[in-house]
């Protein structure tokens, strides 16, 4: 857009323009722009005017926002669904070879520094032994002076002997403090060397993680930008022939120009979206599993109900046979008496008697009839007992199956709610990710 410049009223390089002067300049610029728009009608100028209008709208939308940052509304939307990741989380398992090489170099450097610190500490061992020895002497001297002062504690403070021993105790205490300070100073110096080596190792490790995580930030941001550009071209049906290398270069240049904080937010948003999508998929799997479990539990309830109904029918039919069994038990008494008579008759006949065989045959038939009747009665009683027992078991299993079905239904509801929440979270994080990427084009 045309820019109006003027030096009217400028009385020195250090004076700031007044609000009236600023308003006049803005009004003049608007007038020049209006006149140029009325006079110019070429296609090039129309495109330029459209671009200026788009720029003005974007400027109005992102007014008061630094370049490379989102507007207040969009930033709030992004921050509502973002969790900034640490360097270690951003890095993850990426660049294993680089990490292995740098960790090996860091460990080697740590070994060198540790050996050097150990050698310097070894050179101070004689001094440490001397300080410990002198501290021990000072401590024993102080203890002796203290014991001697305690012997004259009953004397007055103005007594010459007590005053002398108090002076000696004060000197011994000052000497003990000096020796202890020397010993502590040497110990701290020796332990400080090892602590410095450890801190240097950790700082190099953290620097490696930070550097590689920055590379991971850029890689994720470039990938997201390439995906966003492809999706925009498809949505707008643009037949723009952009090669892979050109898209990679454009994304690299664009990502390199971003502030580090913005790249970290984009990478965190991408990881949050991926994690939310994974959680949503897992929640969907759990919901499908809970649905199958609920269906299986309901089917088991129906199966047990049918089996229990059939068992009750069989039990009722078996009970209806009680009259026949009672008659059979009454007839069994007669059959037993008949068997006893036939046995007695057969035993009374001699082996040479011609009726012996016929009597034995009748006895066998009577015994078989008795055995069949006894077996029928026993089978009826056993069947009745089994059906009664089975009915109780099925009733108990059906009750437990109903409880399991209710629990499965509740679990299904919980899983369905969790799935809906996970899908909502995934959608929100994906929108936050897309918004973070889209705002980089502003």
pLDDT at 20: 53
Q: Give which of 43, 5, 8 is closest to 26, Cα–Cα.
A: 5
Measured from the Cβ of residue 251, the count of other Cβ atoms closer than 10 Å reads: 20
Distance CA 269, CA 289 (A): 30
The structure tokens 């501290």 sit at 135
Tell me: the pLDDT tens digits for 110-126? 999 999 999 999 999 99
Name the token pair of 329: 């038990």
pLDDT at 232: 67
Distance CA 385, CA 246 (A): 86
pLDDT greater at residue 286 or residue 441: 286
Could you give the angle at the alpha carbon of 412 between the alpha carbons of 409 and 418, nearest 5°? Answer: 150
181-190, 234-243, 353-362, 423-432: segment of lowest average pLDDT: 234-243
pLDDT at 213: 83
Name the token pair of 282: 């897992």
Torsion, CA 244, CA 247, CA 248, CA 251, rounded to 10: -160
Name the token pair of 342: 């036939």
Distance CA 97, CA 208 (A): 13
Percent of the chain with pLDDT over 70: 76
The structure tokens 């003990």 sit at 176
Name the token pair of 55: 């720029």
Tell me: the pLDDT tens digits for 271-330? 888 888 888 889 999 999 999 999 999 999 999 898 888 888 888 887 777 777 777 777
Average pLDDT over residues 343-372: 76
Average pLDDT over residues 126-143: 95
Average pLDDT over residues 337-361: 75
Tell me: the pLDDT tens digits for 86-104? 767 777 788 889 889 999 9
Report the Cα 439 to chain-centroid distance in Å.
29
Distance CA 75, CA 86 (A): 20
Report the Cα 286 to chain-centroid distance in Å.
16
Supply the mean pLDDT for the chain. Answer: 77
Q: Give which of 191, 258, 189 is closest to 224, Cα–Cα.
A: 258
pLDDT greater at residue 409 or residue 11: 409
pLDDT at 2: 38
pLDDT of residue 435 exceeding 60: yes
pLDDT at 321: 74
Cβ(223)–Cβ(177) below 8 Å: no
Distance CA 260, CA 278 (A): 27
pLDDT at 53: 42
Distance CA 157, CA 191 (A): 44
Distance CA 285, CA 19 (A): 65
Report the Cα 184 to chain-centroid distance in Å.
46
Instruction: Report residue 58's pLDDT band, with 50, 70 and 90 as the boundaries.
Output: very low
Q: Give which of 387, 385, 380 is closest to 323, Cα–Cα.
A: 380
Name the token pair of 220: 């994720």
Dihedral sign (CA 410, 413, 419, 423) = negative
Q: How many residues does the chain have?
A: 442
pLDDT of residue 145 exceeding 80: yes
pLDDT greater at residue 175 or residue 231: 175
pLDDT at 48: 36
DSSP H helices in 41-159: 43-61, 72-80, 87-91, 96-123, 125-151
Q: What is the pTM of this model?
A: 0.50
- Range ranked top by mean pLDDT from 121-130, 365-374, 387-396: 121-130
Name the token pair of 32: 């020049």
Report the Cα 107 to chain-centroid distance in Å.
31
pLDDT at 215: 84
Torsion, CA 345, CA 351, CA 354, CA 357, rounded to 10: 70
Looking at domain 276-441, which of 3.40.1170, 1.10.10, 1.10.1040, 1.10.287 is its CATH number?
1.10.287
Burial (CB count <10 Å: 0-12, 13-18, 19+), residue 197: buried
Tell me: the pLDDT tens digits for 183-196? 999 999 999 999 99
SS3 5: coil
Percent of the chain with pLDDT over 90: 29
Q: Give which of 70, 52, 49 is closest to 61, Cα–Cα.
A: 70
């Amino acid at each position: 857009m045309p820019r109006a410049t003027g030096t009217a009223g400028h009385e020195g390089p250090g004076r700031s323009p007044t609000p009236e002067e600023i308003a006049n300049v803005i009004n003049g610029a608007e007038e020049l722009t209006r006149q140029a728009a009325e006079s110019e009608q070429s296609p090039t100028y129309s495109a330029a005017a459209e671009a200026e209008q788009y720029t003005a709208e974007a400027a109005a939308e992102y007014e008061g926002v630094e370049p490379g940052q989102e507007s207040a509304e969009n930033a709030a939307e992004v921050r509502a669904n973002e969790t900034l990741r640490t360097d270690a989380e951003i890095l993850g398992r990426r660049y294993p070879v680089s990490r292995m090489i740098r960790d090996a170099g860091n460990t080697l450097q740590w070994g060198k520094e540790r050996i050097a610190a150990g050698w310097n500490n070894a050179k101070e061992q004689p001094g440490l032994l001397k300080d410990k020895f002198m501290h021990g002497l000072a401590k024993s001297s102080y203890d002796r002076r203290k014991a001697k002062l305690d012997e004259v504690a009953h004397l007055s403070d103005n007594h010459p002997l007590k005053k002398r021993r108090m002076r000696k105790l004060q000197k011994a205490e000052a000497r003990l403090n000096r020796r202890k300070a020397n010993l502590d100073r040497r110990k701290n110096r020796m332990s400080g060397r090892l602590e410095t080596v450890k801190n240097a190792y950790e700082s190099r490790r953290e620097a490696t993680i930070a550097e590689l995580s920055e590379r991971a930030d850029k890689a994720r941001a470039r990938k997201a930008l390439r995906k966003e550009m492809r999706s925009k071209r498809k949505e707008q049906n643009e037949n723009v022939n952009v090669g892979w290398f050109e898209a990679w270069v454009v994304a690299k240049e664009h990502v390199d120009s971003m502030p580090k904080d913005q790249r970290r937010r984009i990478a965190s948003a991408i990881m949050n979206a991926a994690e939310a999508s994974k959680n949503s998929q897992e929640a969907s799997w759990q919901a499908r599993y809970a649905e199958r479990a609920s269906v299986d539990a309901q089917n088991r309830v129906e199966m047990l109900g049918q089996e229990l109904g059939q068992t009750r029918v069989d039990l009722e039919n078996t009970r209806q046979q009680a009259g026949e069994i009672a008659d059979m038990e009454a007839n069994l008494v007669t059959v037993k008496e008949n068997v006893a008579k036939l046995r007695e008759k057969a035993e009374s006949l001699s082996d040479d008697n011609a009726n012996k065989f016929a009597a034995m045959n009748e006895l066998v038939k009577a015994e078989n009839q008795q055995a069949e009747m006894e077996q029928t009665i026993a089978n009826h009683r056993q069947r009745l007992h089994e059906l009664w027992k089975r009915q109780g078991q099925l009733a108990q299993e059906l009750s437990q199956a109903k409880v399991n079905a209710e629990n499965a239904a509740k679990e299904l509801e919980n899983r369905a709610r969790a799935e809906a929440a996970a899908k909502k979270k995934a959608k929100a994080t994906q929108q936050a990710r897309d918004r973070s990427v889209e705002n980089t084009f502003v």
